[in-house]
Structure 1
């Protein structure tokens, strides 16, 4: 699918530069805000109106009552994170603080950027520290940091983290700017043969590779005969590789023998589509990428044939290179 990236540069005049790529996650708007409508999560939900996604909705309104801000519970080291979908050379983060009250809550927060989800991403490189609570919207500039995840981390006891908008910008005029292959499965509709303890199929396409089942980011079926999981990419792609993150606090061997099947038919729930590769093993809690000759299809299935088994996965990523 052809994808167009648009951003503007101020030189002698404003210039709109169009960069056309055949693969890649594009900058989300004409200002180059990479976080806009990205997948956002936070350490807790302090109020139903304070969802993490509110900080990437494109709305800088700083009045919490208008439902465009996030809020965590009062806790130790609260955090918020956005997944940019790809690795970028991030150079600026713009934060809109709450304006109707409590602006000092943000004082001392850290902006951390990187590619790891250890400690929920809060161990990634420190890009900047918010020393003075922003009065409205403030941009923090720093030496470029390459990363997929941007965290706002507030260290301390009994802290509440509130954000009304977070905007992320990358270097766009040097080779360090990256726009790589995008994960076609991210946020797509997923289903599976059964659901154990509320661990639905959608958890495996939430953009979170955290491998601890107890933290709620892994899918899990019952001990079905030939258990399966399927994602609908929405249209046909020539799929060339699939990455699977195995569970980190269960049995690593359950995934052994799983088949990755790709195609356009829903016969037998999609499990009769073309076999791309068979999983021999994936170490506990690790991500393994399976590459193969391109297979064109809309549906990607993971199925364990021939036995009664639990199928659990913490993330499935699909790419068309």
Structure 2
């Protein structure tokens, strides 16, 4: 069966909940459907540990242009895989759109013995995609690009195993932060998302609320840079939860372009009636955590918690 969730969770390598999230794809054997250099198999470049996105630097791999190109890594053991990171080439930012990531125990049949754990979204300009999910057991991880006349290029492909739990031993750093938002409706100020209460009923007075506007946002300043392990967002529970659909969580230390240039740690594609969302962003470094919705709507948050270890 296909295992696709409506929530895109994102992660890079680093320490999370006291365990190292280990990239088990590093230096493993990789193959692909064809090679842009017919004389040599370059598939291993995607697991060489080098993330340079310039093809000419020699650490990216491409197939020829063909129908349904694919790339696969053999992890040599069965692992419970919890997350995957893909880095793609800088000049081909549309080439991976619709790409599917499959995890399986056999190379014999991709579709009958494997789980599809992710589909690469249409996000212009993004060179790195992170996906995390409930643990899926597998030895082989395949990227397949459906369609005719497609070229599959990868610069790095990382497969993580490790603790994908929801509890973190670090304190919630957001409690000591300084919160701001794009506008404020009534008494529902930005600080209410870092007041230590996950009470999700707006009338109780523990949630934020902006005016109705284009691209509403909320941001916490942690006052110094941290290595971020995870961000937990608690939505409204009384009504209107679907307003958070499409919300992006960005982590970084820049306020350029109002912080929108910072790395996206996660996207709430669909709230689906869920109250809280935990995004694993282990390894991302930042002072600012921003939640924003790229559409015309209200933004209301009942709590944002940030778990991290001190940078450096």
Return the TM-score normalized by structure 2.
0.45
Return the TM-score normalized by structure 1.
0.43
